[in-house]
Amino acid sequence: MSEIRRGALLSYSTILLVNLSGLLLTPFIIRSLGNSEYGLYLLIGSLAAYLGVLDFGLNNAVTRYVAQCAAKSEREQEARFLGAALVVNALAAVAIIGLGTIFYANIDAWFGNALDAGQREQARIMLLLLIATVVLTVTSGMFTAICAGHERFTFPKTVNLVRYLLRIGLVLAVLHSGGGAITLVAMDMILSLFVFMANFFYAMRSIGSRFNLRSLNIQIVRSVLAFSAWVFVFAVIGQLQWHSGQIVVGKTIGMEAVAIYGVGVMFGTYYGAFSTAITGLFLPRATYMTVENASPQELGAEMARIGRMALLILLLILGGFASFGHEFLQLWAGPAYGAAWKVALMIMFAYTVPLVQSFANQLLEAKALFAFKAKVYLVALPLGVLLGYFLLELLGVLGMALGIASGWVVAVVVMNFYYHLALGLDIPKFFFTLSKGIAPAFVTCLVVAGILRILPGTGWPVLLAKMATFAFAYSALMYRIGLNDGERHEVKVMIERLKWTHA
């Protein structure tokens, strides 16, 4: 099995584990902490998320440059580049600590009206722990990016899977023993240290990566920053779009509204994770194709192939959640969380097209054309947050989600014109290829879901039976109608390999 297939399998295993554990643990966490402390936990996590983008886009730059060096077998050039990357990483750590200190100093000023004295003290402690966690995560990410550049996905993704297995057990133990949000944050910091150490030793010993600081060239540092600057800007915007929503909701409405909005965002981001488990593995492939001067037609065919793989998974989740998600959330978290269903659906609809086009995003990175996309989102998404703020009074948390999703959709439309003009991709052909077979199969699946919804019965057993029936019908219809002959052949080969493995 290739590294990409193993990486995809491990990514999906991790995502399933994270999502299932989230589904099972989140109600337990909410009830253990209470709505108010859980909202505070999400609020401080949103502040920390801003710190996480201060890697200056380094991970994408490392993957791109290492992949280029690997394609040309230039290990010494790679070592010089990694020395420059280490300097940039140190600058990122300093920036994270500096901005975190500013957040720490302004907790009282920013949230004095929304948090009491005890909550503000909790917030300060959690923020200090999260600053250390973010520094470890950003540094660990550089070593994960080195592995990705060499298309060595198995080890870092196995480590990530182990991390989440450990986290499930530790969360249960912490909450069962009466621990609170601070203990949960401290636990995550320790797990981040474990991941950092594992990835560091693997990159240095198994891959043989080196950091050449003696021949450090300031021009290389500048080239790293020049490439990663716009990736960094885009990452900042990515945090802005949803986490700013949580902060605005918290300041405007209160902590319980943050909890409801945060649950909707959580399900929306789970949706995106299922797609990026596949598409995130293809930046090295995009770089290799760029180095080899692949034609726009070849790039478009690869983009459609990857997009169809992603869409098959996304539509299963989108169709199932649209049909059964409202009842699921009310049973799962309580009647107060019904509004989170609409928030999550807004995010899922807004995410779908950019997720299936993520290979185009990786081509922009590989060709160093990312600046335009960052500029488009830099304008569109803050305007979306502003629109959400004005819609809050009228629509509540749904207004914030609607505003941000509107900004996202505008940016996606603009980017499709850019993909066509700058990369030479035939976007109409892409959408035709993407939907061929899949669209009629999905419409049929929605009809099946509509019939299942009107069947009598409530509660977990009935809901799970309906969801299982929908998943079975979706799989059968997509296999018979949605997949083309080549994709059906790949499915048959995969099934045969699994049979052989377990024989």
Name the residue with tokens 């891959």.
207
270/212 same-domain check: no
Are 263 and 183 in the same domain? Answer: no
If asked whether residues 401 and 453 sit together in one domain, one would say no
- Same domain? For 469 and 338 the reply is no
pLDDT of res. 502: 47
Examine the domain organization and report whether 399 and 496 are in the same domain: no
My answer on whether 211 and 242 are in the same domain is no
**378 in any annotated domain:** yes
In a domain, 222, yes or no: no
Same domain as 481, residue 381: no
Question: Nearest-CA neighbor of 73 among 286, 281, 224, 291?
Answer: 291
The DSSP H or E segment spanning 481 is none
Q: Which of 8, 1, 5 is nearest to 273 (CA)?
A: 8
Tokens representing 212? 């050449």
User: How far is the CA of 466 from the CAs of 17, 255, 454, in angstroms?
Assistant: 22, 34, 11
Buried b or exposed e, range 168-196, using 16+ CB within 10 angstroms: bebbeebbeeebbbbbbbbbbbebbeebb
Find all residues with CB under 8 Å of 81, minimum gap 6, and list them: 65, 66, 69, 220, 224
Domain boundary among 216, 246, 268: 216
Clarify whether residues 374 and 391 are in a common domain. Answer: yes
- One DSSP character per residue, 234-248 reads HHHHHHHHHHHHHHH
Does the pTM exceed 0.95? Answer: no
Report how far residue 60's alpha carbon sits from residue 91's, in angstroms, rounded to the nearest whole number: 16
Domain boundary among 371, 406, 432: 432
Position 57 in a domain: yes
Domain stop point among 393, 413, 432: 432
Q: In 35-71, which positions are buried (b, 16+ CB within 10 angstroms) versus exposed (e)?
A: bbbbbbbbbbbbbbbbbbbbbbbbbbbbbbbbbbbbe
Q: How many structural domains is the chain composed of?
A: 3
Q: Is 437 left (phi over 0), alpha (psi -120 to 50) or beta?
A: left
**427 and 452 within one domain:** no
Q: Residue 415's pLDDT is what?
A: 95
Judge whether 321 lies within some domain.
Answer: yes
Count Cβ atoms within 10 A of the Cβ of residue 200 and give its class: 0-12 exposed, 13-18 middle, 19 or more buried. Answer: middle
| Residue 484 and residue 500 in one domain | yes
Per-residue model confidence (pLDDT) at position 449: 95
Residue 209 domain-assigned (yes or no): yes
- Regarding whether 297 and 172 lie in a shared domain, the answer is no
Residue 378 structure tokens = 């830099």
Residue 221 lies in a domain: no
Q: Are residues 427 and 440 in the same domain?
A: no
Question: Residue 33: its pLDDT value, please?
Answer: 83
| pLDDT per residue of the chain (503 residues) written in tens, 0 to 9 | 556 667 667 766 776 777 677 777 877 888 888 877 887 887 777 666 667 666 666 777 788 788 878 777 788 888 888 888 888 888 888 888 998 898 888 888 877 777 778 888 888 898 899 889 889 988 888 898 888 888 788 888 889 889 888 988 998 898 888 888 888 889 989 999 999 999 999 988 888 888 887 776 677 667 666 766 777 777 677 666 666 777 788 777 776 787 788 888 888 877 877 766 565 555 566 666 776 778 889 888 988 988 898 899 899 999 999 999 999 988 887 787 878 899 999 989 988 999 899 888 878 877 778 888 888 988 998 898 899 989 988 888 889 889 988 998 999 999 999 999 988 999 999 999 999 999 999 999 999 999 999 988 888 999 999 999 999 999 999 999 999 988 888 887 767 765 554 44
Question: Torsions phi, psi of 26, nearest 5?
Answer: -60, -45
Range of the domain at 290: 229-432
Evaluate whether residue 265 is within a structural domain.
yes
Burial group, residue 110, by CB count within 10 angstroms (0-12, 13-18, 19+): middle
In a domain, 175, yes or no: yes
